[in-house]
Amino acid sequence: MGQPPRVGSINADDVTTTAGPYALGEVIGRGASSEVMLALDRKVGRDVALKRLRNAAPTADDIARFLREARIQARLEHPAIVPVYEVGRDEVGRPYFTMKRLAGKTLGDLLAVATRQRMLRAFADVCRAIDYAHSRGIAHRDLKPSNIGLGEFGEVYVIDWGGA
């Protein structure tokens, strides 16, 4: 008897393409110039989030901005900032980076239904993360409810450091 599939996990039928050691699944987020995809790290067998530029032929400036975001986020080792695992290039040369795959909703999704206690805890966690980033000379510059992830087990993450 096999294990039931995990919610949000990738199986062989879901793979759309590959990027290095990653089997790519569905797009789980999209911004103006980049997208985040669910991916399976085939080396260690875990789901990750893979962020890459959407344009198959990005400019040198696009690439520099994207890699700057990856480096900034990777340098910010804090419980409320998503860790970066790896930076690489896909089969057509676009840069990507992989990070912890988050499960849950954004604060923007839950504003109308979150309890006061949950909101205050999230606010405190965000303040600590932003204070940490500021102590490292980094300003987020796009802090808003849709850039605050709330995990299934009470985790809080400041996401999308592209404007930093």
142 among known catalytic residues: yes
Active-site residue, from 14, 62, 109, 142: 142
Long-range CB contacts (< 8 A, 24+ apart) of 126-130?
Answer: 126/80, 126/156, 126/158, 128/78, 128/80, 129/78, 129/79, 129/80, 129/81, 129/156, 129/157, 129/158, 130/158
- CA 43 centroid distance within chain: 19
Give the residue numbers annotated as catalytic, written as ranges.
142
